[in-house]
Structure 1
């Protein structure tokens, strides 16, 4: 190639690169701006005082540690006497949360029923481990907890929120054969079986054609960037929009903001990146126990289309216990709608007792 042709090629290459960067910047500006408009259009949270359901449980709670196959240690909390019931409720929290997420459920059950919860790896007091987190690892960690915490002859009622629901489906994919021997029922709340990052509704769909390719890119950056999160009025405003329904209690926004900000940035980014490749839909083909599906109609992180998909898969095989929607609730339904959610859990447990005659 002559020197003049090489120079022209370099020039056009530079122009093309500059055009790509400019187009990408424009996409980010438009998509980010669209999301910001939604954030600032949200109503102020309702100032009605603290929520007693979210207080730290005052009944006896036991802490322990469970080892995983790769050596990471998971923090586990439990309450109640395992000899008092055939079923043990196992609560599995979601991305950026910890066992405190389930305070409303621990307080509801008190000492009346054995309840177990654990910090997902890298969350709360659990170690992240030496290996890059994967969706398969979620199910493997749950298996380790079940092996350690559910005595022989007892069965678990698995309750998963968000990434916790994905954990249950990952577990079912890998360990679901004959699950009715170890698990008696499942509750999948505010969760998704596939495409969770790609199908979020945080960024409005009514974007110009130019900006639409940037929606998934911005979503991926949002979930996988290891940026520390402060706690202030601005982060609370974002947390309200991202995680809760439009009409939310200030106590719930504060609780959620504090919990998410406390999550390790490295763990948040690692799990956000892992969830980009989520596909545990086939785990539902292994489910052989009654399974309740729950979602808030205003959930932007895991919109109702995900719940529709899971409910359809379960119903087609005869294992859908119920499909419940909470009008106006966002992603944090177990404490946004604590009374209704606890009633649902009671109903699942009552149905199990009626089925077994116990």
Structure 2
């Protein structure tokens, strides 16, 4: 894989471990409403596939350290920008944003990036995890998912259980978080004050300076109108009924200091999943676990590939070889 970074990454000021590598190739996915958006592919075409979907206000740059880890281990990584984020076109109207759109776009990516009959490990962070839950009934997910990762996410009651604004009154706390999610005020530019505020809300205790900087630059690149529109969807989110329908082996990751989706969400998901392979709690980490502990996230994804995808591919290869000999 190329070691060079993309032009947008340089303009965004992402450097070091957080500078995204250039994709080896790009595809185009077409969603249910006809919108076309780019899909990035990293690694060899014949390698086991991992599909990654990012969270609210992020983009594919968010996955840079994880992409490097996985491709270095010989895996293929597919990543895309959620609707309105990064290079993905915005919805035609703010009211068009919905969990159904999240599911539509993920299914379009699976159709575009995977060969007929090919399966993958699919991982989602925050709103990306909610995307996977929203797609639980979709045939593309059920047929394509060898295993799943739900990372720093929740299925319902986000505004009531968040602790970004730590008010004692549940009613006031819910109202305050609703206002925060739907806020239309610009976040930029990146300043020491804005960086510190975002670090408080999204990162764990004693975040590394470079992690706080990368978080601020990624989040503040999200268009204000898109951030507010998706924030409105998250404020009303309830996909809990779909969690038991995720019948693929599923791992759950959470930072114990996550203020946006506190650890109770992850424990609830682990209890509801029909085949939970493990609940991984990262001590002292916040909501941005793939930026804070990319090695831990990559290790869980790699374990899912080894346990649930690679053996299937080896058996299929043996079957094909036996047929050729016969």
Q: Where do residues 1-358 of structure 1 align in structure 2 (5 Å cutoff)?
A: 52-57=16-21, 60-85=23-48, 88-110=49-71, 112-131=74-93, 132-172=96-136, 174-175=137-138, 179=142, 181-206=143-168, 213-230=171-188, 231-314=190-273, 317=274, 319-353=275-309, 355-356=311-312, 358=314
Tell me the CA shift for residue 355 of structure 1: 4.9
Residue-by-residue CA offset, 1:249-293 (whole Å, 9 max, x unaligned):
000000000111110001000000011111111222211211000
Query: Larger Rg: 1 or 2?
Result: 1
Moved more, 197-206 or 255-264: 197-206
3-state DSSP of counterpart to 1:63: strand
2: distance between equivalents of 1:256 and 1:183? Answer: 29
2: distance between equivalents of 1:353 and 1:167? Answer: 21
2:7 maps to none
Number of equivalent positions: 297
Alpha carbons 2:51, 2:79 under 8 Å: kept: yes
Pair 233,354 (structure 1): closer, same or farther in 2 beyond 3 Å: closer
Moved more, 346-355 or 121-130: 346-355
Moved more, 125-134 or 66-75: 66-75
Residue-by-residue CA offset, 1:212-262 (whole Å, 9 max, x unaligned):
533222211111122211111111111110110021100000000011111
Alpha carbons 2:146, 2:309 under 8 Å: kept: no
1: distance between equivalents of 2:139 and 2:291? Answer: 29
1: distance between equivalents of 2:46 and 2:141? Answer: 24
Alpha carbons 1:92, 1:117 under 8 Å: kept: yes
> TM-score, normalized by length of structure 2?
0.86
Tell me the CA shift for residue 178 of structure 1: 8.0
Tell me the CA shift for residue 100 of structure 1: 0.3
3-state DSSP of counterpart to 2:165: coil
Residue-by-residue CA offset, 1:21-60 (whole Å, 9 max, x unaligned):
xxxxxxxxxxxxxxxxxxxxxxxxxxxxx984322215x5
Pair 75,177 (structure 1): closer, same or farther in 2 beyond 3 Å: closer
List runs of 5+ in structure 1 lacking aligned partners: 1-49
Tell me the CA shift for residue 120 of structure 1: 0.2
1: distance between equivalents of 2:203 and 2:236? Answer: 25
> TM-score, normalized by length of structure 1?
0.79
Moved more, 273-282 or 102-111: 102-111
Moved over 3 A (4+): 353-357
Residue-by-residue CA offset, 1:173-205 (whole Å, 9 max, x unaligned):
x315981x3110000000001111222111224
1:21 maps to none
